[in-house]
A and B are shown apart, each in its own frame.
Chain A
Amino acid sequence: MNAVTGLPMSSRTALDELEQHDAFSGRHIGPDAAEQQSMLKELGFATRAALMEAIVPAGIRRQGVLPLGSFTAPATEHEALNRLRRLADKNQVLKSFIGQGYYGSYTPGVILRTVFENPAWYTAYTPYQPEISQGRLEALLNYQQMVTDLTGLAIANASMLDEATAAAEAMTLVKRMSKSASDTFFVADDVLPQTLEVVQTRAKPLGIQVKVGKALDAAETDCFGALLQYPGVDGEVRDYRALAAALHTKGAAVVAATDLLALTLLMPPGEWGADVAVGNSQRFGVPMGFGGPHAAFLATKDEFKRSMPGRLVGVTIDSQGKPALRLALQTREQHIRREKATSNICTAQALLAIMASMYAVYHGPKGLKTIAERVHRLTGVLASGLKQLGHAPVNATFFDTLTVKTGADTAAVHRAAEEKHLNLRHVDASHVGISLDETTTREQVQALWSVFAPKAAQPDFAALEKQAAAAWPAALGRRSAYLTHPIFNCHHSEHEMLRYLRELADKDLALDRTMIPLGSCTMKLNAVSEMLPVSWPEFAHIHPFAPESQTAGYREMVAQLEEMLVACTGYAAVSLQPNAGSQGEYAGLLIIQAYHASRGEAHRNVCLIPASAHGTNPASAQMAGMHVVVVACDDNGNVDLADLETKAEQHKHDLAAIMITYPSTHGVFEQGVRDICDVVHQHGGQVYVDGANMNAMVGLAAPGLFGGDVSHLNLHKTFCIPHGGGGPGVGPVAVGAHLKKFLPNTRSVGYVRDAAGIGSISATPYGSASILPISWMYIAMMGASGLQAATETAILAANYLAKKLAPHYPVLYSGPGGLVAHECILDLRPIKETSGITVDDVAKRLMDYGFHAPTMSFPVPGTLMVEPTESESKHELDRFIEAMIQIREEIRAVEQGKLDREDNPLRHAPHTAEMIAADEWKHAYGREQAAFPVASLRKRKYWPPVSRADNAYGDRNLSCSCPPMSEY
């Protein structure tokens, strides 16, 4: 007996249990033990383990627990935060004057809390379903308007991954459009070094020669296009009008890499002859984050629009004739055009583009100009003070950046600056760079003077300030207006801003309202504890090229996360550099090429891709200069082994790789995956396993252990980084031991993993570094057992849904025992035959029920692919099942003639409040049936802000800027 409580010892709970170290997995995983038991019962299994045994092929099952080292045991939310805090404390935040594309910036509090830290914004998916995405579509349209205004070009997309990849995309864009037959792309020698490196990486496999030279000599080179930095990395503001005209005369196109803040004062590139403008919008209120994520931009002239990469928001009308927004010209993109797409980019940087656009909405044109003038004024004062002190800057013209010759004193200058907590740019052994920004103060300017001349008397700040004037060629002052749309001129008070952001967020469906059962997208919980560290200053306010001595905590966290992912994938090494899945794929293919080349087999360039592959695969292969050969799938959706063997044999002398997805895009664990790997290896190829479906494997199987050589992961799917309404993403590339030395470097900033490594894939060594803590936290809190439980529950949930929905909608593909992996495909094609109701109608009708549609028509046209993830409770799964069954009943009513074939609630879905409340109702079905088809909607109803968007109208009448003044 226990003396104090009188309870028998046997029922006393151990302290270890009371501490609840594994508490987080119970929060992350939706269904509790009892719910899981009832779901298993539906499926006829006693335990989750038995279900896994029936689904995951024995030949690929991982033995033992995930080898997560010191992260094997789960940590509570507080324990994990404390552990990460100790790493963060090893970083040092100095005031950065490094520049080179990254600047200090103040994120307005209202944007920080209401956008960046708000699940309504960060848990949304890419706005492919326009009717439930009008809020973020409007924010992204504002972004496009802001970029077109500031660059002086006709059209801009809804963001790119970073300035360097945007420049590389611009290179291929002008290659497609240029009239010149040349294969040479000219890059000015004052382009950001990291941009040049990524451009060189991208050019090589495409057979494009990159020639670097003095900007003003560009026209002397026979080239199809030229990349100019405006202002240059050294700070110089050059007049490129004559140069642009000369390049045009020769049939070459002009790409300007530029700076949005500078363009509030300088003549925009579109006005001096640039055909394309790219750059980074980071300094519009987005933290530097040790390299990302931030939204880059790409703007171009109207003639180039069909050749643009990336997502583009356009204006259309809805079924009621009212304006509605949607993603336009999607036929350019990888999910439709595959290897003929304009790029492989899919996930971009939506959340960060939204922040940058809101920064412009918040400050307005006058506010931005004030910031720019302040930055320029302080730069002017700094320059004249330095001149007085005998350190006149090398550049005569500037906006915010000075280059100073420091000769033999260079190291001493850097040391003195660091002592005052200031970081300067390491230009070379005898020069330093200084870039000012929104956060720079007069005191800091004075501190900089004393860094260069510690013993001299300080220049007279007030006197110099009075003399400071515009320091660029007079002709280059900006004369044209910008941001004149009302949206940029009416939300300057915090209340107005707060309410505008709430108004937009309220229009959208994100995970904070409903499950988002998108197949292949893994819309799982993005826990708040995972998100908190992203805002910590020690992660948020570090320049990507800060000295190593200040970033020890970051690099330790990166190394730990790499090890965690090595454990999860069964590979030998991981690079976190690729800042989207598309970039990880591309990196993986370049690594395969480097491997073949290292063995004297550089000619191997055939990439086998199953017909069911995601469109990004062939698009990436094309960018890597590979020749795509499609492998057939059999009736069960599996790779047709006979066809694979034939094609592997046919191409055995030039086979480079196969790209497979596992479990397959059909949502099934293919039994023959080891055979597929063997066949390809026997014919000299490497196996690329697309990690899009990794959520079905963590802890159960690992691509590196069943035959894969390379994979990319989507940390924004399996490892909890939120989708952000279309980015940020992180797409690490993981490789086997024989490929480790080929992982990407960023040589331009001194990051070299191995001399054999491929060139830089992203602008910075660790890509979107500041969001890596999210995945670190997830893995630390789940531990080995939690991660495996998550995988098993995701598979359980998918099978539960499939089982419950199969009587109503045929499940298209399944493995042995009729079981699926972590997602299932519902076949709606028979329904179209019998009722005329399409997959679109069902997707839109789900909105009336308050749901985001599953993935439409991928990988099979006319189907819905459902992926519930482990994070949805049984209650939420049942709510979705109820909606789908009720919709099936509505379809049956159409089939039976009880509802009209055209005038029915499916064809007219979604129904807005305005439609339902209108005095006039002309439909053959009732308002109540339209808006409240199930009882639970009376308690909780989402009203789509627009009715069905007219896709054809939007593409035929393309408009990608804010509506004209007259519409306000």
Chain B
Amino acid sequence: MSKIPADLKYTKSHEWVKLGADGVATIGITDHAQEALGDLVYVEPPKKGRKLAAGEACAVVESVKAASDVYSPIAGEVVEGNEALNSAPEQINQDAYGAWLMRIKPANAADVAALMDAKAYEKFLADEAH
């Protein structure tokens, strides 16, 4: 069973979001997503300053047998991409909720609250499995 921390928000495309006290949202892929992809070998986080629409493909994660786009859960501007992942993509496999992909300044902070909570994501995963 993959981990689903209670204090995060989630998307149907398996991203997690954490809204910080500074109003910046930290975003990564869920434990379920890293497990499905397998050993990650390459990550391309978005560049700082890029303006994103909600649902826009903004990063790429690759394992040896799958490549997947990461979609921005909310609209906003990229404050920082996690360049440390370039040389150590396996960090996502080791700790999906520690190895964040990008930090976004939300266009509208309320957008984060509208995402799925842990319980809803858990149910979504259970439904998806059937």
Contact = CB atoms under 8 A, between A and B. Distances in A.
B117 interface: no
A956 B93 CA distance: 13
Interface in A940-957: 951-952, 954-956
B115 to A, nearest CB: 26
A952 B42 contact: no
A956 B41 contact: yes
Interface string B87-110: 001100000000000000000000
B36 to A, nearest CB: 10
B42 A955 contact: yes
B113 interface: no
B123 to A, nearest CB: 21
B65 to A, nearest CB: 7
Contact of B66 (A336, A340, A956): A336
B39 A331 contact: no
Interface string A557-571: 000000000000000
A955 B43 CA distance: 12
Contacts of A182: none
Contacts of A340: 67
Given A952-B39, A952-B41, A955-B41, A331 B89 contact: no
Contact of A330 (B39, B40, B65): B65
Contacts of A857: 65
A337 interface: yes
B77 to A, nearest CB: 22
A506 to B, nearest CB: 27
A306 interface: yes
A456 B105 CA distance: 84
Contact of B67 (A336, A951, A952, A956): A336
Contact of B65 (A306, A336, A954): A336
Interface string A798-838: 00000000000000000000000000000000000000000
A37 to B, nearest CB: 42
A951 B64 contact: yes
Nearest to A958: B41
B67 A331 contact: yes
Interface string A330-352: 11000011001000000000000
B65 A331 contact: yes
B62 A331 contact: yes
Given A331-B62, A956-B89, A956-B90, A337 B67 contact: yes
Contacts of B65: 330-331, 336, 857, 951
Nearest to B68: A331
Contacts of B67: 331, 336-337, 340
A237 B39 CA distance: 48
A306 B42 contact: yes
Nearest to B61: A331
Nearest to B38: A952
Nearest to A952: B39
Nearest to B87: A956
A951 B66 contact: no
B122 to A, nearest CB: 20
Contacts of B41: 952, 955-956
A330 B39 CA distance: 14
**Residue of B40, B63, B65 with most partner-chain A CB within 10 A:** B65
A473 B50 CA distance: 47
A857 B63 CA distance: 15
Interface in A872-893: none
B109 to A, nearest CB: 32
Nearest to B41: A955
Nearest to A337: B67
A284 B63 CA distance: 36
Contacts of B64: 330-331, 951-952, 954-955
Interface string A831-875: 000000000000000000000000001000000000000000000
B39 A951 contact: yes
A210 B90 CA distance: 42
Nearest to A954: B64
A594 B123 CA distance: 49
Contacts of B63: 331, 952
A340 B67 CA distance: 10
A869 to B, nearest CB: 26
A951 B63 CA distance: 9
Interface in A758-812: none
Nearest to B69: A340
Nearest to B64: A951
Interface in B6-31: none
Given A952-B39, A952-B41, A955-B41, A331 B66 contact: yes
A553 B62 CA distance: 51
Nearest to A333: B67
Contacts of A306: 42
A340 B66 CA distance: 12
Contacts of B89: 956
Contacts of A336: 65-67
A340 B57 CA distance: 13
A956 B85 CA distance: 11
A306 B63 CA distance: 13
A337 B38 CA distance: 16
B32 to A, nearest CB: 15
Nearest to A331: B67
B90 to A, nearest CB: 7
Nearest to B57: A340
**Residue of B42, B63, B67 with most partner-chain A CB within 10 A:** B67
B10 to A, nearest CB: 23
A331 B65 CA distance: 6
A65 to B, nearest CB: 45
Interface string A950-968: 0110111000000000000
B26 to A, nearest CB: 24
Contacts of B42: 306, 331, 955-956
A330 B90 CA distance: 18
A839 to B, nearest CB: 11
**Residue of A331, A337, A951 with most partner-chain B CB within 10 A:** A331
Interface string B45-56: 000000000000
Interface in A469-501: none
A857 B64 CA distance: 13
A722 to B, nearest CB: 27
Contacts of B39: 951-952
A306 B44 CA distance: 11
Interface string A308-340: 000000000000000000000011000011001
27 contacts: A306-B42, A330-B64, A330-B65, A331-B65, A331-B66, A331-B67, A336-B65, A336-B66, A336-B67, A337-B67, A340-B67, A857-B65, A951-B39, A951-B64, A951-B65, A952-B39, A952-B40, A952-B63, A952-B64, A952-B90, A954-B64, A955-B41, A955-B42, A955-B62, A955-B64, A956-B42, A956-B89
**Closest 7 interchain pairs by CB?**
A952-B39, A955-B41, A951-B64, A331-B67, A331-B62, A956-B41, A955-B64
Interface of A: 306, 330-331, 336-337, 340, 857, 951-952, 954-956
Given A330-B64, A331-B42, A336-B67, 19 more contacts: A330-B65, A331-B62, A331-B63, A331-B64, A331-B66, A331-B67, A340-B67, A951-B64, A951-B65, A952-B38, A952-B40, A952-B41, A952-B63, A952-B90, A954-B64, A955-B42, A955-B64, A956-B41, A956-B42
